[in-house]
């Protein structure tokens, strides 16, 4: 039997496993297996040459028992509703685990933004917001940037929503430029939060991060910041890095600035002059202390999990480890920290941005990092605490299962208090 790789089926499988372990009420389980609302929209966009092209998009609100929906908007040629549904589910658990007053949502448009100029991107972005209408809002559902979207796109979207409602509403969108209500610390917040989790994870297994060897799969926004922050904060040495074109490995350590220059010059990390070239698959299986998957989903599966050699897997990407692989890593004694804990820094600082927009009072970068550290460290301790609670009763569970139990229980309790079941 082949391993399930459909992202929404994986999200449901992970929920089902946690529900069985925790004895979740059957009605609550049934509610939480499916999104609350799925919107499919057609967006007519005037192109630069005067023609009009119609794009298809989605917005999924998974659950809002704990607060308005929260989740990014993705522009991708292979976008599909199952991926958006899965990401909205994981966002539900992510906001719950962080114990911030949001539910989970996600959006996407089927397009190749690399083929669109700024005129067409702006028309598409504004058209998407018009199509969603009042289905979003600072008290309803709050989008943010994700794959191939950025602060400029969020600025156009916020402006379009403000035009629709007739007043300035910066709280409708997060991940905006600082000049129109963005937050300090937002753009490296995912990686920064992940590094706080790594710090705490290292403590639990007595790993000296100062002398650690780190591998990072993915050199996009999250991976790039993770490289810089990990070496600066932990003193560890990054010995392997990859992007979609392949990777490089140097046991003596990779120079961040030289790698960045090579990436800009050649368009790929293999433009780095030192070290040896490796494939993405080989990179994952290198001998190191910490592996940070920061690329795409389904990178560590049942097919390769037994060959992972690191002490810690830090899931900075969404869904990089499949459920079957998670079981294998746990049995091997590898501390696999789940994605919806590790990469929750982005949504936590998005929450800070929303709070600042509503209050009209803005924090310093130091304030943001300190508050992020407090919340994500608390989340880490909640996960480890749940693991210990089950262990005391003679049942060993993985960090992922423990994180699910914490998050799902909070959402289920909110639904119960609201009278949804």
Domain of 337, CATH number, reads: 3.40.50.720
* Residue in the block written with tokens 């092209």: 53
Return the pLDDT at 297: 76
Based on the fold, state whether residues 116 and 232 are members of the same structural domain: no
Give the angle subtended at the CA of 57 by the CAs of 56 and 63, to the nearest 5°.
155
d(CA 193, CA 261): 25
Whether 363 is covered by a domain: the verdict is no
Q: What is the DSSP string of 216-278?
A: EE--SHHHHHHHHHHHHHH--EEEEEEETTEEEE-TT---HHHHHHHHHHHSSGGG-SSSEEE
Q: What pLDDT does 100 receive?
A: 98
Q: What does the block give as tokens for 269? A: 């990390």
Model's pTM, two decimal places?
A: 0.92
E strand or H helix at 132, and its extent?
Answer: helix 118-132
- Give the pLDDT confidence score for residue 220 in this predicted structure: 82
Write phi, then psi, for 171 (nearest 5 degrees).
Answer: -75, -5
User: How far is CA 415 from its chain centroid?
Assistant: 24
What is the distance between the terminal CA atoms of the chain, rounded to a whole angstrom? 36
Residues of the chain where predicted confidence (pLDDT) is lower than 50? none
Whether residues 194 and 325 fall in one domain: yes
pLDDT at 290: 94
Same domain? 104 vs 218: no
Task: Please tell me the predicted confidence (pLDDT) of residue 5.
Answer: 75
Last residue of a domain, one of 171, 199, 214: 171
Structure confidence at residue 298 (pLDDT) = 79
At residue 19, the pLDDT reads 96
Whether 130 and 232 share a structural domain: no
211 and 338 part of one domain: yes
Catalytic residue among 36, 70, 85, 106: 106
In this structure, the answer to whether residues 157 and 193 fall within a common structural domain is no
220 belongs to a structural domain: yes
d(C-alpha 221, C-alpha 151), whole Å: 13
Name the strands in the sheet holding 69-76, side by side, starting at the edge strand that comes first in the sequence.
37-46, 52-63, 104-110, 69-76, 141-145
Helix/strand/coil for 30 = helix
The last residue of one of the domains, among 144, 171, 198, is: 171
277 catalytic? Reply is: no
Residue 119 lies in a domain: yes
For 335, the domain range is 189-342
pLDDT score for 274 = 87
Residue 5 covered by a domain = no
Question: Per the domain annotation, does 47 fall within a domain?
Answer: yes
Beta strands in 321-374 (DSSP E): 335-337
pLDDT at 3 (0 to 100): 66
The neighbour count for residue 395, using CB atoms within 10 Å, is 11
Orientation angle between helical segments 399-418 and 81-97, nearest 10 degrees: 90
pLDDT at residue 225 in the model: 87
pLDDT at position 224, please? 86
Question: What's residue 134's pLDDT?
Answer: 87
């Amino acid at each position: 039997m082949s391993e399930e790789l459909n992202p929404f089926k994986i999200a449901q499988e992970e929920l089902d496993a946690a529900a069985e372990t925790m004895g979740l009420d059957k009605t609550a389980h049934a509610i939480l297996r499916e999104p609350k609302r799925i919107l499919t929209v057609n967006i007519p966009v005037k192109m630069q040459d005067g023609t009009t092209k119609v794009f298809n998009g989605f917005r999924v609100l998974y659950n809002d028992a704990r607060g308005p929906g929260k989740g990014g908007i993705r522009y991708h040629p292979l976008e599909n509703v199952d991926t958006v549904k899965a990401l909205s589910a994981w966002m539900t658990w992510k906001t719950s685990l962080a114990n911030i007053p949001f539910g989970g949502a996600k959006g996407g448009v089927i397009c190749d933004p690399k083929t669109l100029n700024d005129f067409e991107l702006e028309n598409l972005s504004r058209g998407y917001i018009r199509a969603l209408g009042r289905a979003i809002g600072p008290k309803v559902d709050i989008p943010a940037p994700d794959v191939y979207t950025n602060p400029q796109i969020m600025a156009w979207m916020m402006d379009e929503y403000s035009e629709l409602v007739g007043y300035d509403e910066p709280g409708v969108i997060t991940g905006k430029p600082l000049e129109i209500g963005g937050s300090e610390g937002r753009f490296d917040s995912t990686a920064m939060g992940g590094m706080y989790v790594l710090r705490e994870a290292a403590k639990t297994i007595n790993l000296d991060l100062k002398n650690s060897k780190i591998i990072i799969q993915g050199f996009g926004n999250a991976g790039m910041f993770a490289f810089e922050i990990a070496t600066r904060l932990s003193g560890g040495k990054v010995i392997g890095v990859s992007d979609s074109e392949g990777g490089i490995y140097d046991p003596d350590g990779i120079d961040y600035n030289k790698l960045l220059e090579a990436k800009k010059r050649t368009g790929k990390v293999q433009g780095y002059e030192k070290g040896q070239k490796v494939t993405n698959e080989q990179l994952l299986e290198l001998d190191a202390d910490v592996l940070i998957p920061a690329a795409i989903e389904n990178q560590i599966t049942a097919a390769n999990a037994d060959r992972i050699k690191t002490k810690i897997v830090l899931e900075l990407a969404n869904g990089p480890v499949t459920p079957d692989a998670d079981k294998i890593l746990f049995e091997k004694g590898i501390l696999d920290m789940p994605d919806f804990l590790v990469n929750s820094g982005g949504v936590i600082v998005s929450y800070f941005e929303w709070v600042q927009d509503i209050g009209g009072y803005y924090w310093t970068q130091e304030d943001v990092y300190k508050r992020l550290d407090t919340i994500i460290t608390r989340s880490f301790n909640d996960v480890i605490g749940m693991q210990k609670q089950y262990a005391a009763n003679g049942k060993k569970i993985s960090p992922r299962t423990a994180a699910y139990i914490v998050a799902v229980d909070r959402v289920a309790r909110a639904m119960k208090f609201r009278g949804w079941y």
